[in-house]
Amino acid sequence: GQSLEQPSEVTAVEGAIVQINCTYQTSGFYGLSWYQQHDGGAPTFLSYNALDGLEETGRFSSFLSRSDSYGYLLLQELQMKDSASYFCAVRDNTGGFKTIFGAGTRLFVKA
- What's the CA angle centered on 72, arms 83 and 104, to 5 degrees? 50
27 lies in the site for another protein, by CB under 8 A: no
Q: Distance between CA 51 and CA 104 in Å, rounded? A: 22
50 or 80: CB nearest another protein: 50
Start-to-end C-alpha separation, the chain: 41
Residues binding another protein: what is the number (CB under 8 A)?
Answer: 26
How many degrees, rounded to 5, is the angle at CA 20 between CA 19 and CA 26? Answer: 135
Shortest Å distance, C-beta 67 to another protein: 19
Taking the complex as a whole, how short is the minimal distance between the CB of residue 20 and another protein, in angstroms? 13
- Is residue 14 part of the contact set for another protein (CB under 8 A)? no
CB of 111 to another protein, least distance (A): 26
